């Protein structure tokens, strides 16, 4: 769910028959989440969508997760980010994966 008008992507229904990469030319992906909403990233494994069908890892130059409004680095946040990283296969990304913590005033 999107809680603001600041939407950076609009997706139309796909007529794909499956097996196609959704963002085949994606080079930089930034995901912004809050500490509370990070549980949605953890549940991505439950959706049954393989990361290989979302983006071509060979073209990916940067995968960044931006956590906003964070008060403490909690075990729950760490677990949620871990599950997302496992789904994305970030162990093979080396320096192409990063996490950024932003505190808004």
pLDDT in tens, 32-48: 999 889 999 999 888 88
Q: What confidence category does residue 64 fall into, taking pLDDT thresholds of 50, 70 and 90?
A: very high
Q: By three-state DSSP, how is residue 15 classified?
A: coil
**DSSP single-letter state for residue 26:** -
Q: What's the DSSP call for residue 69?
A: S
- Give per-residue pLDDT as tens, 47-63: 888 888 888 888 889 99
């Amino acid at each position: 769910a999107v809680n603001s008008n600041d939407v950076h992507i609009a997706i139309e229904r796909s007529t794909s028959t499956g097996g196609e990469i959704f963002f085949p030319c994606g080079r930089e992906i930034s995901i912004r989440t809050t500490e509370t909403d990070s549980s949605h990233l953890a549940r991505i494994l439950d959706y049954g969508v393989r990361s290989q069908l979302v983006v071509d890892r060979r073209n990916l130059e940067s995968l960044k997760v931006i956590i906003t409004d964070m008060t403490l680095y909690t075990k729950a946040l760490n677990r949620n980010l871990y599950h997302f990283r496992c789904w994305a296969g970030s162990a093979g990304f080396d320096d192409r994966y990063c996490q950024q913590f932003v505190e808004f005033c």
